[in-house]
Amino acid sequence: MLNSYGELCTEVYELSKPVGYSFGDIEYYAERLKGISGKILEVACGSGRVLIPLLESGLKVEGIDNSPYMLESCRKKCGELGILPTLFEGDMRKFHLENAYEAIMIPGGSLQLIESREDLVAALKCCYEHLADGGVFIADIFLETDFEMNTVKTRLWETEKEETITLEEKRIELNLIEQRTLSLLKYEKWQNGRLIQSELQRFPVKWYGVYEFSMMLEKAGFSDIVISGNYEYGIAPQHADQMITFEARKRI
């Protein structure tokens, strides 16, 4: 069965990127958002890797994600910390929430899981519509630098229940014209030499050039765009392997 972020995928995400695990993004987002007293929305919040540390810092962050497994994981972790989160299940391309947010953020390149340009434009417009006037939008993207095909990468993790989870990743499509890759991820959970759970995940990634993405933000209505590389605000990206962060405003 194909899943976006299913039960086993969520468990692997928790093991490989637990709450608080940072690529430099948690510190960066905390700094950029620290003056905001109103509500903030994290789109594609997942299991709370970024959301929970920001909540603990005192920011009023709500989250939306399309995976019920990820959201349940986030709620469980928040419960263990005595935090009551506001979370929504929804599609980042077309969600409808009642609030107007002072900031919306999408860390980690999650926007690039959207397969078509048209759907990305719809997602950006959706975020724009959910911002208060003058509100800030912050999102990360990355550039594809690995163009190998049919290579298989395998990783494994040990769980607290003495289980072994393996992940086999194989790229099955590379389209340079459409700026898109597609990989098939196979998760397997083993215990005492016996396969007890398996899951397949179709994993698309679409990438955009720096100026291309800026124009898409402008098309969605945003202004005052600042492009930063390596989580250093206002310093333009210097290398293709850096995470690239865009900050923009909703017009007043």
pTM of the complete model? 0.94
Q: Is the pLDDT of residue 1 over 60?
A: no
pLDDT band at 3 (very low <50, low <70, confident <90, very high): very low
Residues 68, 37 contacting (CB under 8 angstroms):
no
Q: Which two tokens stand for residue 42?
A: 């994290």
d(C-alpha 242, C-alpha 85), whole Å: 31
Domains (range + CATH), the chain: 7-143+207-250 (3.40.50.150), 151-205 (2.20.25)
Mean pLDDT (whole number) for 74-90: 96
Residue partners of 52: CB distance under 8 A and separation at least 6: 19, 20, 74, 77, 78, 81, 83, 85
Q: Give the pLDDT confidence of 35-72 residue by residue, as tens digits.
A: 999 999 999 999 999 999 999 999 999 999 999 999 99
- What is the per-residue pLDDT for 159? 94
Strand 164-175, strand 180-191: pairing: antiparallel
Return d(Cα 93, Cα 8) in angstroms, integer: 24
Instruction: Tell me the pLDDT tens digit for each residue of 204-227.
Output: 999 999 999 999 999 999 999 999
CA distances from 248 to 11, 129, 136 (A): 34, 14, 6
Mean pLDDT of 110-131: 96
Residue 252: predicted pLDDT: 82
